[in-house]
């Protein structure tokens, strides 16, 4: 199976990114985690992005906050699908990172998830890999069925709570 690269602009993004790595681990999807910054380590970030396909990656998840150019910089240097996670910082509630990540020019797509939406980033990467992997696709369908069952249980519980 192809690997998922999980990149964060700073180790301060890790509490958010952990939600993605937990899900990848749950699905036994191989992944590697790096701290690489579009601004602070631009050369290393570009080198990694350019060699990612050769290194066996199939999709990249890029998490960054503030003036979040990480996902865009990866898209500029790599033709693998890029998923951007805008990370909330203390000043602008993550809207700065959201706009920096989502507003890519035509020709350089970044699939941007919600602010701090690391779980969805992992699930989206799994969906991408599952296109060519039937086992993973089955696991993902199971995951969805369990998630649906949980909500239906909650529906029953809340109906009982408010029964009159
Ligand atoms: C961004 O700046 C990082 O992705 C992080 O979200 C933010 C703050 O970084 P630190 O100053 O905490 O290292 O590049």
In the chain, % of residues over pLDDT 70: 100
Average pLDDT over residues 17-21: 98
To test the ligand 1 pocket, which listed residue (8, 13, 42, 90) has its Cβ within 8 A of the most ligand atoms?
Answer: 13
Average pLDDT over residues 66-91: 97
Dihedral, 115, 101, 89, 94 alpha carbons, nearest 10: -50
87: which residues sit within 8 A by CB, 6+ positions away? 8, 9, 13, 16, 63, 64, 65, 68, 94, 97, 115, 116
In the chain, % of residues over pLDDT 90: 99
pLDDT value of residue 69:
98
Structural contact between residues 136 and 130, judged by C-beta atoms closer than 8 angstroms: yes
Average pLDDT over residues 140-144: 98
Structural contact between residues 84 and 101, judged by C-beta atoms closer than 8 angstroms: yes
Average pLDDT over residues 31-60: 98
Q: Taking the CA atoms of 128, 95, 72 and 29 in sequence, report the sign of the dihedral they define.
A: negative
Closest residue by CA, ligand 1 atom 13:
10
Closest residue by CA, ligand 1 atom 2:
65
Distance from C-alpha of 134 to C-alpha of 152, rounded to nearest angstrom: 27
Name 86's bridge partners.
64
Within 6 A (CB) of ligand 1 lie 9-10, 12-13, 37, 64-66, 87, 89
Give residue 97 CA to ligand 1 midpoint distance, Å.
10
pLDDT value of residue 76:
98
Give residue 20 CA to ligand 1 midpoint distance, Å.
18
Closest residue by CA, ligand 1 atom 1:
65
Average pLDDT over residues 26-54: 98
126: which residues sit within 8 A by CB, 6+ positions away? 23, 24, 27, 29, 136, 140
Q: In the structure, what pLDDT confidence band is assigned to residue 4 with cuts at 50, 70 and 90? A: very high
Q: Which atom, in ligand 1's list, is nearest to the CA of 39?
A: 14
pLDDT value of residue 132:
95
Give residue 66 CA to ligand 1 midpoint distance, Å.
7
Token digits for 160? 């009982």
């Amino acid at each position: 199976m192809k690997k998922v690269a999980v990149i964060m602009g700073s180790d301060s993004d890790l509490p958010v990114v952990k939600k993605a790595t937990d899900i990848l681990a749950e699905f036994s999807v191989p992944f590697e985690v790096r701290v690489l910054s579009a601004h602070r380590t631009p050369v290393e970030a570009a080198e990694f992005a350019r060699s990612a396909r050769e290194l066996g990656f199939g999709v990249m998840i890029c998490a960054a906050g503030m003036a979040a150019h990480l996902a865009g910089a990866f898209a500029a240097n790599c033709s693998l699908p890029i998923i951007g996670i805008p990370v909330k910082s203390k000043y602008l509630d993550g809207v700065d990172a959201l706009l920096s990540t989502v507003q890519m020019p035509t020709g350089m797509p970044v699939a941007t998830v919600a602010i701090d939406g690391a779980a969805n980033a992992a699930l989206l990467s799994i969906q991408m890999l599952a296109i060519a992997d039937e086992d993973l696709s089955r696991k993902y369908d199971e995951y969805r069925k369990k998630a649906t069952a949980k909500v239906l249980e909650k529906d029953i519980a809340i109906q009982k709570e408010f029964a009159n």
